[in-house]
Amino acid sequence: MTIIPISLLALGSIWLVETDKGQQRPILDHIGYAWNTQQLDRLMDFLETNVQPEVSSSSLPVAGICPHDDHLFAADISYKILSRIKAKEIIIFGVTHRTARVFLDQPRNKIILETHDTWTGPTGPIAVSELREEVHEKLNPEDIIVSDKAHQMEHSIEAMLPLLQTLLPGVKITPLMITEMEPKPMQALGAQLGAIIFDYMNERNLVPGRDVFFLFSCDANHYGEDFKNTHYGSGSEGHSQAVNADRALLDETLNGTLEIERILSFLNDPRQTHAIWCGRFSVSFGLMTTLNVLTAFEMEPIKGHILEYSDSYTHGVLPLQGDGFGITAPFSLQHWVGHPAVLFQP
């Protein structure tokens, strides 16, 4: 491991915190996610029996928004997205939660990369795509941070891996943590990253949807007194209004034909200032990047289909507790989180 002190974070235009090159990225959350065979068997049996993935069209989906909350809160919602993926290479746009933000001194307008050889999966190591190295080599150095430690502090990417590896044996990933971004830098960086991804795919004859899928990790509003977020009031009435605001935001900005203007509307909507969407930037930047890739491929426009929106208070816990498989947070009117599932396809 190479460690560079925090005081030396910015060296000219290159940001490098530390690397664990040659190592496997370890599991962070052993409680909220199902990692062992017994847990996964129970979870998959339940999902396959009780959740019918909605088929919105015959075309292959190319992208999706998926929650990263505890599996007992959101695995059935995630399954509606993840079970539709056919591609074996997934670009995961993850969140940069508070712990990693503080560690990195609150970075903005950056993509956070890592150098692990593999990530831990429930049935063995998960390979990292060669795309990561191309992003590292070709993206402007001032736009990236390389930090294995930050990725080891972040759960929004690893949340996808147990179900992804179970549903898609041999899957490989490009893990990207997305920081807070302003609209103009986001658009510029999305264009640069989109061009790198297009070149990578075009050189290898990879097709969006068939070979590569764009996955955006996102939990919606975090509401209640525990989050110091009661803009719509407390109790049942506050819960109802906040849920309706989340649903309306999704419907008005991401449902239907997707364009840059609608992504910017999602990013800048006034309702975002009354909510704590920890996927606000991963979704906005991920979608902008995806549209740039699809435009380069001259694909027809994609449409968003809202498959589900729920929240941990309304949803409650799946009946699968035990075997070390549990929840990491309460679910009440004082503490609930929204879970969106949105699929994008031609």
| Strand pairing class (303-311; 256-257) | antiparallel
Q: Which two tokens stand for residue 175?
A: 């893990």
Give the global pTM: 0.94
CATH code at 237?
3.40.830.10
Secondary structure (3-state) at 90: strand
β-sheet bridge partners, residue 96: none
Residue 227 phi/psi, 5-degree rounding, is -95, 5
pLDDT on residue 275? 86
pLDDT on residue 56? 58
The answer to whether 127 and 175 are in contact (CB under 8 A) is no
Alpha carbons 54 and 305: distance in angstroms, whole number:
10
- 15: enclosing H helix or E strand: strand 14-19
pLDDT along the chain (346 residues), means of 10: 40 54 90 94 95 74 98 97 97 98 97 97 97 97 96 98 98 98 98 98 98 98 96 97 97 96 95 89 98 96 96 96 88 98 96
Beta carbons within 10 angstroms of residue 265's beta carbon: 15
Among 339, 252, 262, 269, smallest CA distance to 302 is for 262
pLDDT on residue 55? 62
Alpha carbons 131 and 279: distance in angstroms, whole number:
23
To the nearest 10 degrees (0 to 180), the angle between helices 183-203 and 260-268 is 140
Burial class (CB in 10 A: 0-12, 13-18, 19+), 228: exposed
Domain containing 29: what range? 2-345
| 8-state DSSP, 208 | B
Beta strands in 159-249 (DSSP E): 172-178, 212-217, 222-223
pLDDT on residue 323? 77
Alpha carbons 269 and 254: distance in angstroms, whole number:
12
Alpha carbons 339 and 114: distance in angstroms, whole number:
27
Residue keyed to tokens 């004082």: 334
If one counts the domains in the chain, the total is: 1
The answer to whether 218 and 282 are in contact (CB under 8 A) is yes
CA atoms within 13 A of residue 56's CA, in its CB half-sphere:
22
pLDDT on residue 5? 37
Beta strands in 268-335 (DSSP E): 303-311
